[in-house]
């Protein structure tokens, strides 16, 4: 039997895991998906998607194919999912739950999830997972996405799909301590292709709560500062990121010249800093 464990994640070059406690009753936090900037409303070019996994239910009544815009990495990842019945006909309406699981020998843990809407858009169910660590064939660390599918007048079915998750050179999901408020994951959602000037800064915030990862938004803000290490200066005109619903935050950053910048974040609750560790996203800016 797999044992699900709670970990502390340290934001070094690679995420290091320290085992704290285990239990045998895993739970997955189900986040609703009604926010204006969730993947359910994100435009995409179907021709640019690549297949990252596929599978079928044990009884053969259901098959699923996972698509993404690129290879999967250890951060926030959007998924585009096609479901088909036993005759190959597309399923356009269903209650679909994504249940991620990282298996590590006799232990396992989940990850934050943004669940799809119940109807497809252009033939796809769209959701997202925040992969909090990469896969490792050497260590036997493997991710699986289980899809629980409920359709009208049909029994619930399950499709389990193994996926490979690579490690980013520059972390885009960082774990940090929030003192009495607990530990959190903050994910930077902006593209890596960032231009000089002012631009929106998008984030999603999750709390670590035993084996659940609820989205966090009530009473919090993300303070934003920018710094250019090579030049020893920052920039003015940054606006703190405010909650916009379901764990999503939006602010503004000003990156005034090309080169390597740091976006330095601090978590505020009711106007007071609660994060006790550095939260730094490194970004290369082009002209």
Question: From the DSSP assignment, how many helices (H) and strands (E) are in the chain?
Answer: 0, 24
**What pLDDT shows up at residue 152?**
86
- How does 142-173 read in b/e, with b if 16+ C-beta sit within 10 Å? bbbbebebebeeeeebbbbbebebebeeebbb
| 17-22, Cβ contacts within 8 angstroms, sequence gap of 24 or more | 17/133, 19/107, 22/107
**What pLDDT shows up at residue 129?**
98
What residue spans of the chain are helical by DSSP H? none
- How many angstroms from the chain centroid is the CA of residue 205? 9
**What pLDDT shows up at residue 217?**
86
**What pLDDT shows up at residue 172?**
98
CA 101 to CA 91: how far, in whole Å?
25
Give DSSP secondary structure letters for 35-56: STTSGGG----GGG-EEEEEEE
CA 219 to CA 199: how far, in whole Å?
24
Query: SS3 for 2?
Result: coil
Which phi and psi (to 5°) does residue 259 adopt? 130, -170
**What pLDDT shows up at residue 43?**
61
Cβ contact 45:80 at 8 Å: no
Q: Are strands 220-228 and 239-245 parallel, antiparallel or unpaired?
A: antiparallel
Cβ contact 70:51 at 8 Å: no
Token pair 């070059």 in the structure block, residue: 13
Closest CA to 7 of 144, 104, 145: 104
CATH class of the structural domain 31-165:
mainly beta
CA triplet 114, 222, 100: central angle to 5 degrees?
A: 20
**Token pair recorded at residue 171:** 């972390």
CATH class of the structural domain 173-286:
mainly beta
**What pLDDT shows up at residue 62?**
96
**Token pair recorded at residue 13:** 């070059």
pLDDT mean for each 10 residues of the chain (287 residues): 39 36 39 39 76 96 96 97 96 97 92 96 96 93 97 91 97 97 97 89 95 91 96 94 96 95 97 97 91
| 187-191, Cβ contacts within 8 angstroms, sequence gap of 24 or more | 187/75, 187/76, 187/130, 188/75, 188/263, 188/281, 189/76, 190/283
Segments of the chain assigned to CATH 2.60.40.10: 173-286
Cβ contact 113:247 at 8 Å: no
**What pLDDT shows up at residue 42?**
57
Sign, CA dihedral 192-114-43-148, equals positive
Cβ contact 187:204 at 8 Å: yes
**What pLDDT shows up at residue 166?**
97
pTM for this predicted structure:
0.85
**What pLDDT shows up at residue 218?**
85
**What pLDDT shows up at residue 47?**
85
């Amino acid at each position: 039997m797999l044992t699900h464990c709670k970990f502390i994640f340290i934001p070094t070059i690679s995420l290091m895991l320290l085992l704290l406690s285990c239990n045998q009753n895993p739970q997955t936090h189900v986040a609703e998906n009604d926010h204006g900037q969730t993947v359910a409303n994100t435009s995409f070019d179907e021709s640019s998607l690549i297949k990252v996994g596929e599978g079928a239910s044990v009884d053969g009544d259901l098959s699923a194919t996972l698509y993404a815009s690129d290879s999967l990495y250890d951060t926030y990842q959007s998924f585009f999912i096609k479901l088909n019945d036993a005759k190959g006909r597309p399923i356009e309406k269903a209650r679909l739950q994504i249940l991620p699981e990282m298996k590590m020998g006799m232990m396992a843990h989940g990850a934050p999830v943004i669940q799809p809407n119940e109807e497809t858009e252009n033939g796809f169910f769209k959701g997202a997972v925040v992969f909090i660590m990469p896969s490792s064939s050497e260590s036997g660390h493997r991710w699986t996405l289980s899809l629980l599918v409920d359709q009208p007048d049909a029994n619930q079915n399950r499709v389990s799909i193994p996926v490979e998750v690579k490690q980013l050179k520059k972390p885009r999901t960082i774990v940090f301590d929030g003192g009495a408020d607990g530990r959190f994951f903050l994910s930077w959602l902006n593209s890596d292709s960032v231009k000089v000037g002012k631009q929106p800064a998008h984030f999603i915030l999750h709390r670590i709560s035993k084996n659940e990862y609820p989205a966090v938004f009530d009473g919090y803000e993300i303070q934003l500062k920018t710094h250019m290490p090579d030049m020893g200066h920052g920039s003015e005109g940054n606006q703190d990121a405010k909650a916009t619903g379901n764990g999503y935050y939006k602010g503004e950053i000003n990156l005034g010249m090309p080169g390597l910048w740091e976006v330095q974040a601090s978590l505020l609750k009711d106007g007071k800093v609660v994060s006790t560790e550095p939260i730094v996203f490194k970004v290369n800016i082009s002209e």
